[in-house]
A = this chain, B = another copy of it.
Amino acid sequence: MTSTDSAQNTAADTTGNAPAKAPAKDPWELPDVSGLVVGVLGGTGDQGRGLAYRLARAGQKVIIGSRAEERARTAADELGLGVEGAENAQCARRSDIVIVAVPWEGHGKTLESLREELTGKLVVDCVNPLGFDKKGAYALKPEEGSAAEQAAALLPDSRVTAAFHHLSAVLLQDASVEEIDTDVMVLGESRADTDVVQALAARIPGMRGVFAGRLRNAHQVESLVANLISVNRRYKAHAGLRITDV
Contact = CB atoms under 8 A, between A and B. Distances in A.
B236 A16 contact: yes
B42 A1 contact: yes
A103 interface: yes
State the oligomeric state as a number of copies: 2
Contact of A103 (B4, B67, B229): B4
Interface of A: 1-17, 21-23, 27, 42, 44-48, 66-67, 71, 101-106, 110, 128, 130, 132, 135-139, 141, 168-170, 181-182, 185, 187, 210-214, 216-217, 219-221, 223-246
Contacts of A11: 132, 136-137, 229
Contacts of A187: 227
Contact of A105 (B4, B42, B169, B221): B4
B5 A103 contact: yes
A185 B102 contact: no
28 contacts: A1-B66, A2-B103, A3-B103, A4-B103, A4-B105, A5-B46, A6-B45, A9-B45, A9-B47, A10-B46, A11-B132, A11-B137, A12-B232, A15-B232, A135-B214, A137-B217, A211-B235, A213-B230, A217-B227, A217-B230, A220-B223, A220-B226, A220-B227, A231-B243, A235-B245, A239-B245, A241-B241, A242-B244
